[in-house]
Amino acid sequence: MSVDEHEIGTVLVALADPTRRELLDALAEEGQASATTLAGRLPVSRQAVVKHLRVLEEAGLVRYGRLGREVLYEVRPAPLDSSARWLAERAAAWDRRLEAIKRVAENPPARPSDKPADHEH
């Protein structure tokens, strides 16, 4: 599976902000919510919520739709899932590297000077 490095970078940047993570959590709980509803749950203005939602939308983490005059946002989990898989793959690769280092550290290869000397006849 090919991983879109740009998409993952955009997702990680979007998730770097704690307010955006709170917004995602709130949307996950609510299912759908307006910026006004979300602003009521957070200590930031509605305008700030809209700006954060825009970043999340650009990262593909939320989408919005209209219901009458109201704009409702909801979580799109696919980019989050692919980013989580990518991170898990990186973690597994590092675990393998660290395990190899540990094996070498615990069982260093024999050096030539560590071999028993040959007896001359």
Q: Enumerate the domain spans of the chain.
A: 5-78
Q: Name the pLDDT band for 114 (thresholds 50, 70, 90).
A: low
CATH of domain 5-78: 1.10.10.10
Q: Directed axis angle between helix 5-15 and helix 77-106, to 10°?
A: 100
pTM assigned to the model: 0.71
How many residues appear in the chain? Answer: 121
Taking phi over 0 as left and psi of -120 to 50 as alpha, with beta for the rest, 31 belongs to: left
> Which residue type occupies 5?
E
Q: Name the pLDDT band for 115 (thresholds 50, 70, 90).
A: low
Q: What is the dihedral of CA 19, 64, 74, 70, to 10 degrees?
A: 90
pLDDT tens digit sequence for 8-65: 889 999 999 999 999 999 999 989 999 999 999 899 999 999 999 999 999 999 999 9
In this predicted structure, what is the pLDDT of residue 1? 40
